[in-house]
Amino acid sequence: MSLRASGFSLWCDFIERDFIDSVFRELLDNNIIYGATSNPSIFANAILKSNAYKKDKDRLNGKSAKEIYENLAFYDIKKAAKVMLPIWERDNNDGFISIEIDPMLCDDASKSIDEGRRIFKEIDMPNVMIKVPGNESGFEVMSELYKSGININATLLFSKTQTKKALDSIGNFKADSKKVVLSIFVSRFDRMLEMKNKTKDSNPLLGIYNATNCYNIIQNFDNPNIRALFASTGVKDDFIAKDYYISNLLFKNSINTAPLDTIRAFMQSNANIITPIDNIDSYLAKFDLESMSKELLDDGLNAFKCSFEDMLEHIC
C-alpha cells in the first residue's frame, strides 16, 4: 500500500515568509509535503533573524510588541493557508497550517478560549488549526474551541494519560469538516535518556515505542476526524539516520511533521507503510513514563514561553 493511500501525510514544521514563496511551494507542488505546523519558537527565530520581516516591522513602529507579532505571524499563517487551500479542498485531512495560542496563557483556560476564537476569526481561513498544549487547562480549551467549529492541534503530548484526556476533551463530537491532530512528541524521550545516562544509542527505542502506544490509543478511538501526528522528529546526532523518526513511525492514518533536513533525507529513502510493533509494554515498563512526560511537558511549556517573551522583548 502506498503512503498516500494509507492515509499517511508528511508535514513541515517550519514557517518563514521567504520560505513560503520558495521551497515550501516546491515541496507542495511535488507532492512531498501536505501541511505545515508552527510554534512560538519557530516564529521567534524567523521574525528575529530573517530580513523578510524588517519592512513590516518598520511599518508597524509604535504598535505594541504583541500587536507587531500578531500582524507578522497572522500574515504568514494566512499566506501559507492560501497556498495549501487546494490541498484542503481536495481532502480536508490535509492542507492545514497551525498557529499556537499565546503560551503565556497556557494556564488560563478562559483567556485561551477567547484568544483561540479571536485568532481563528482574524486569520479567517478554513484550513487553520489552533494549537493548544496538552496541560489541564488545555484540555478544556480544546473542547470548547472544537465545539465552536475550530480545527485543533493538541500539542506537547508525551504520555498515554495526556492522549486519553485530549481524546476525551473532543469525544465523539464531530464538528462538520473540522479536524483534530494529536501531536505526540517523540525524540525528546531519547534525548532525555542520553542526558541522564550519559550514553548514546544508535537505535533509540523509547520515543518510538511510547509514540506507538499513543498512536494505538488514537486509532482505537471512534472519531474519524482525529489523527495522530508525530512531532519532534528531527535527529540531533550524526550516528542516527536523519529520517529515523519518520521511517520507524510510518503508520497508516498518521502525520509526521519534520524539519527540512529530515524531510530531504526521507525523500531519498524507499520506505513504505509499516505495522506498529506489538509487545512493547515490557520494554516501556522499565521507565517511569508519567514522570518523564511531566518533566518534558513542563520543559516544553517553559521553552515556548521563553521564546515568546524573548521575541516580544526584541521585536520592536
Query: Helices in the chain by DSSP H: which ranges?
Result: 17-20, 23-29, 40-49, 54-59, 65-90, 109-123, 136-147, 160-170, 187-197, 206-219, 244-247, 260-267, 281-284, 289-314
Mean model confidence pLDDT for the chain: 93
Catalytic residues: 131
Please determine, for residue 257, whether its predicted confidence score (pLDDT) is greater than 70.
Answer: yes
Band of the pLDDT at 176, cuts 50, 70, 90? Answer: low
Least confident of 3-7, 84-88, 207-211: 3-7
Please determine, for residue 106, whether its predicted confidence score (pLDDT) is greater than 70.
Answer: yes
Q: Is 172 helix (H, G, I), strand (E, B) or coil?
A: coil
CATH 3.20.20.70 fits 9-314, yes or no: yes
Please determine, for residue 173, whether its predicted confidence score (pLDDT) is greater than 80.
Answer: no
Per-residue pLDDT, 44: 87
Q: Hey, where are the domains in the chain?
A: 9-314
Tens digit of pLDDT for each residue in 29-84?
Answer: 999 999 999 988 888 888 999 999 999 999 999 999 999 999 999 999 999 999 99
Per-residue pLDDT, 204: 93
Does residue 181 contact residue 155 with C-beta atoms inside 8 Å? Answer: no
Task: Tell me the one-letter amino acid at 257.
Answer: T
Tens digit of pLDDT for each residue in 188-229?
Answer: 999 999 988 878 887 899 999 999 999 999 999 978 899 999
